[in-house]
Amino acid sequence: MIEKDNASVNAISPNKPAKFLKQKPSSGARKQNVKHDFHKKNNENESRLHGKCKWCGKQRHDKRVCPARDARCRQCSKIGHYAKICITKSQTGYSEVAYLGVVQLESKNKTNIDWTVTVQVNHKNIKFKIDSGADHTVLPANVFQNVFQNAKLEPPDKILCGPDRNPLKTLGKFKTNIEYKGKRCTEEIYVISNLQTCLLGKPALFSLGLGPNLNSICQISAADPKAKFPELFKGLGVMKGCYSIKLKPGAIPFAITCPRRVPIPLLKQTKAELERMVEEKVITPVLKPTEWCAPVVIVPKSDGNVRICVDLIELNKNVMRELHPLPKAEYSLNLLTEAKIFSKLDANSGFWQIPLDKKSSYLTTFITPFGRFRFQRLPFGISSAPEHFQRRMSQMLEGIPGTTCHMDDILIWGSTQEEHDQRLTEVCKRLKNSGMTLNAKKCIFSQTSIKFLGHIIDGQGIHPDPDKIAAIENYQPPTNKKELKQLLGMANYLARFVPNYSDILFPLTSMLSNKLTFVWEAPQEAAFQKLKKILSSDPVLMIFDPKKETTVTTDASSYGLGATICQKQADGRRSVIAYASRTLTPTESRYAQIEKEALAVVWGCEKFRDYLTGMHFKIETDHKPLIPIFSNKNLDDLSPRLQRIKLRMMKFSYTIVHIPGKELFAADALSRNPQKVPYKREELEAEIDAFIQMITSSLPASSRRLDELRVAQLKDETCQKLTDYVLKGWPSKKEVDTLCAPYWQNRYEISVQDGLLMRGCRIIIPKSHQAEVLNQIHEGHLGITKCRARARCSVYWPGISKVIEEKIKSCTACIQESSNRHQPLIPTSFPERPWEVLGLDLFKYKNSWYLLISDYYSRYPEIARLDRLTSAEIINHCKSIFSRHGIPYVVRSDNGSQFDPKTNYDKHHGVRNLDGLDPGQNVWITDRRVTGKVLQKTPYPRSYLVQSGRRVYRRNRKHLIPSPDFHPEPEPEDDSDVTRYQHSPADADPGCPPLMSSPQSPKTYPERASSSTEVSPDPYVTRSGRTVRPPERLDL
């Protein structure tokens, strides 16, 4: 951690000379000393450079291929050598005040600031002062003697001078590992006598990722763009010109009508986020029908807010991309050779600053629990968005020298401060005129060192970003033959084109012999270090070219992740652009294997997002189940973790393919030897944990109940096998245990969350608790649909829908309170002549009732006004009408009380006929609210004889509900009870004949089945012996 105190940034106080420097001598003595020291040190320098090039300081080679041949020395400004071996740098005059820092910052209250950082040197914490002007890391002699007593010093091979160009008393050097926040490097540390402060030099700063921290103390320009262009840093901008989404010919619209369920705890935050987006005019409500409508997924953040992610996968399948080329990294970096001052601008939610035209806006319609909305700005999930945004940015900056852009990052540079400020002002004017705004928190102004496109750029040139090769530099030596094979597999795959490759690795390859014992000695260590240098330099490591075929390879072990990004060269070989690896966090190490592999994919792509954004690339993985997940699986069909991972991949355009593990050399080796980084909570992990916590808290169960289910799952054999499959990977369908076979179809949804085995957001209930949970689902005696919906929100086991249906159909209370479906009307045959079949009905008009008679053949109507709504009044009008037109054969009505006082069944209709009943079957009689047993079916449609106690009823099927668990119970008898006659179908009297009939009719029309409480109007005998004859009624 970097600390500030009241001391100066100078390693040596400016108010007094350093102890190891002599006081200022006389002028003549000073000249003599300088001349003597120059010749002495120059001779020493030549002797120490024996065997090395005297122009660049590297291993001796022909001057014609020396990299310093055309370089200009920054010390003497001459061409042909580097400043580090320049012989004139010791001739500088003596300075009275000594400085080791590069800049001294003074505040208004005259207090100084000291930047320090605590790093681990050989696992021991040492506090260093950051010195960007130091070429090496140095320690005072007293610190070395107190902390590193056992370390052996080697003779120094270089002459170290102080900031006054005078030589320092160097006791020696030693090589050790330095670590800071998980980043490690091997550094040569020099021990200086009489030094007061530990200094961390520039090489170590960049290796440990501390280089960018120098930005805070390197501000030179007095111009502040935030003050000069305040409107650029306010709110969300709107660029000029609307974007139109072009669809492929023959695109088939995709729309859903029901929103995905949002957990209750997130509804409030979801509504607030939608309102915020509407207020910023990013989205707007949709009130009319649209052909396209996408679902949304609500992603909870660790800070309590939510992110609304629209699933535009179906729309992206039909979108035509612009395919605008990204700027070539090599070309952009070549423009920076003379750059000294840098600024980097970042657009504020870049895509959201581009408006959509109205037609395209409706293509982005999405549905939520609070209604439908459409984007008014370019959404992040559209596949064509990156290319269009890059084209706009390139056109906007066209003609301004010293600028380049990569998506929403704009880099401005200049060889002088004045030139830089002029270009920065011009860019800000262009941005202002276009309507774009910037993210002030991510903008960096007037820096001497900056990171861009995987490189560190400063006044001394372009350096590879240490992060690109950190996974190789921190690769630990193998400890056995298996690890050695993994290392050599990666080396053979990437570096087989390197000259003398076999000779270099001979000390390593010879260790694979079965005749030799694995022993790691000096030759092996030397070959190992050479191999790491080969893998992290040209021709294995190349500069990224967006026009070449790009492949991201990822892999996950039980404890680490590995990834590489490679490009195919013209000669067919693959060159690496960058390496990456890291250890899994404690939470991630408990993920299922498929989730670890998916995590490796999204982590690798996001690690290389500066290269991948806006281009199509290929992903290689050795885990075959990932192919359908990242290709065509719906988000609803995945476990919560896989949902979140796939959502993070929506910003990329990729094709994922399966590669056998034996061919996945580099990523496999990196995942098994990852960088030992300290625990750091990843954004994705925090996102997933927040979602899991939300799911657990929203489950309709107490903490005690959840603990019971965890214990029950541990004891259940099926759940144990399922957990094993989830964590270790599912076998093929033929090899799955029979107990787990019903879960195969939903295997991608099953995961272990917080110790619970779940399918999506539903707990998998072990067999021992299924009956209890089923009773709780049916609590309140809800219907089948509502009980299934309740289960769908919280619990699952195979066949749960069928079990719920059987449970409700056999529930006594549900049967007693339920009613059957309405049955359809019985179709009738078309009459053969007019006035053969008539229909009667009543209607009311202006407070008067009317009788309507219609002929089924000709549809001829007859209407009569009724003075009284009685059967007698209707009969009188029928006689009058029939006397004019003739007597019909059949008259049909709706069984109104005026036509027939008996129970009506014709007016109740539905979509399906009820199942027939069998003799002896127990039923519930709904209108009598008693149980009974079916005796037999009557000759009439849907009519049955049912015995309940001592009574026999004739009932339509509508009034009878099967009741398998009921047993007939006798009804309580009273004085009004009667003894009914039991009729056979042959004896059953269907009632009175029709009102009038035509003997000429050749057809026989069965009459309506009555549903009265009596079997027939036949006489019956009461208990007292009295015979009762029912009155005969006119049957219309």
Do the domain assignments include residue 417? yes
Distance CA(424)–CA(430), nearest Å, equals 10
Indicate whether 422 and 333 sit together in one domain. Answer: yes
What pLDDT does residue 988 have?
39
In single-letter form, the type of residue at position 692 comes to I
CATH of the domain at 902: 3.30.420.10
Indicate whether 163 and 248 sit together in one domain. Answer: no
Name residue, tokens 């030179």: 220
What pLDDT does residue 692 have?
67
Q: Which tokens hold the place of 366?
A: 């999405």
Q: What radius of gyration, in Å, describes the C-alpha atoms of the chain?
A: 44
Do the domain assignments include residue 898? yes
Q: Is residue 708 a contact partner of residue 572, using CB atoms and an 8 Å limit? A: no
Name residue, tokens 């009008």: 877
The secondary structure of 856-887, three-state, reads: CCCCCEEEEEECCCCHHHHHHHHHHHHHHHCC
What pLDDT does residue 848 have?
93
| Ranges in the chain, pLDDT < 50 | 1-49, 89-113, 212-222, 901-911, 973-1016, 1035-1036
DSSP secondary structure of 93-150: PP-SS---SS---B-TT--B-EEEEEEEETTEEEEEEE-TT-SSEEEEHHHHHHH-TT
List the Cα angle 806/812/815 in 5-degree steps.
75
Name residue, tokens 């987006």: 277
CA-nearest of 555, 660, 653 to 598 is: 555
Q: Which letter, b or e, does each residue of 775-809 get, where b requires 16 or more Cβ atoms within 10 Å of its Cβ?
A: ebbbeeebebeebbebbeebbbbbebeebbeebbe
Q: Is residue 311 a contact partner of residue 294, using CB atoms and an 8 Å limit? A: yes
Indicate whether 564 and 530 sit together in one domain. Answer: no
What pLDDT does residue 446 have?
87
Distance CA(443)–CA(423), nearest Å, equals 15
The secondary structure of 437-486, three-state, reads: CECHHHCEEEECEEEECCEEEECCEEEECHHHHHHHHCCCCCCCHHHHHH
Indicate whether 754 and 861 sit together in one domain. Answer: no
Indicate whether 400 and 288 sit together in one domain. Answer: yes
Indicate whether 873 and 770 sit together in one domain. Answer: no
Distance CA(286)–CA(259), nearest Å, equals 14
Q: Which tokens hold the place of 44?
A: 């020493």
Query: How many CB atoms lie under 10 A from the CB of residue 727?
Result: 16
Q: Which H helix or E strand runs over 839?
A: strand 837-845
What pLDDT does residue 105 have?
33
The secondary structure of 154-203, three-state, reads: ECCCCCCECCCCCECCEEEEEEEEEEECCEEEEEEEEEECCCCCCEECHH
DSSP designation for 81? S
Question: Of 815, 847, 867, which residue constitutes the final position of a domain?
Answer: 815
Domain count for the chain: 8
Instruction: List residues bridging with 190 in a β-sheet.
Output: 138, 173
Q: Positive or negative, the Cα torsion across 953, 957, 959, 965?
A: positive
Do the domain assignments include residue 1033? no
Q: How far is CA 685 from the centre of its chain?
A: 11
Indicate whether 794 and 929 sit together in one domain. Answer: no
Order of all β-strands in the sheet with 403-406: 403-406, 409-414, 341-346, 444-447
Q: Which letter, b or e, does each residue of 174-206 get, where b requires 16 or more Cβ atoms within 10 Å of its Cβ?
A: beeebbbebbbbebbbbbbeebebbbbbbbbbb
What pLDDT does residue 1007 have?
42
Question: Of 537, 567, 587, which residue constitutes the final position of a domain?
Answer: 537
Do the domain assignments include residue 676? yes
What pLDDT does residue 543 have?
80
Q: Is residue 967 a contact partner of residue 922, using CB atoms and an 8 Å limit? A: yes
What pLDDT does residue 857 have?
92
Question: Of 208, 238, 259, which residue constitutes the final position of a domain?
Answer: 208
CATH of the domain at 745: 1.10.340.70
Distance CA(135)–CA(121), nearest Å, equals 18
Q: Is residue 809 a contact partner of residue 783, using CB atoms and an 8 Å limit? A: no
Indicate whether 393 and 441 sit together in one domain. Answer: yes
What pLDDT does residue 900 have?
59
What pLDDT does residue 50 have?
53
Q: What is the pLDDT of residues 632-653, one digit of tens each?
A: 887 777 877 888 888 888 878 8
Do the domain assignments include residue 460? yes
What pLDDT does residue 287 have?
92
Do the domain assignments include residue 1016? no
Q: Is residue 842 a contact partner of residue 854, using CB atoms and an 8 Å limit? A: no
Interhelix angle 800-809/784-792, nearest 10 degrees: 150
Q: Which tokens hold the place of 119?
A: 């790093």
Indicate whether 257 and 147 sit together in one domain. Answer: no
1023 burial class (0-12, 13-18, 19+ CB within 10 angstroms)? exposed
> Between the CA of residue 520 and those of 394, 517, 523, 676, what are the distances in Å?
54, 10, 8, 21
Indicate whether 383 and 416 sit together in one domain. Answer: yes
Domain that holds residue 360: 225-464
Distance CA(964)–CA(185), nearest Å, equals 79
Do the domain assignments include residue 987? no
Q: Is residue 107 a contact partner of residue 113, using CB atoms and an 8 Å limit? A: yes
Indicate whether 653 and 688 sit together in one domain. Answer: yes
Q: Which tokens hold the place of 837?
A: 């079949």
What pLDDT does residue 223 have?
56
Indicate whether 845 and 776 sit together in one domain. Answer: no
Distance CA(535)–CA(664), nearest Å, equals 16
CA-nearest of 561, 715, 716, 544 to 623 is: 561
Q: Which tokens hold the place of 994?
A: 């029709």
* pTM confidence score: 0.55
- What contacts 396, CB < 8 A, 6 or more positions away? 430, 431, 434, 436
Query: How many CB atoms lie under 10 A from the CB of residue 572?
Result: 6
Distance CA(284)–CA(277), nearest Å, equals 8
Q: What is the pLDDT of residues 914-964, one digit of tens each?
A: 678 889 899 988 888 888 999 999 888 788 999 988 889 999 888 888 887
Q: Is residue 167 a contact partner of residue 34, using CB atoms and an 8 Å limit? A: no
Beta strand 137-140 pairing with 183-192: parallel
Q: Is residue 985 a contact partner of residue 939, using CB atoms and an 8 Å limit? A: yes
Do the domain assignments include residue 8? no
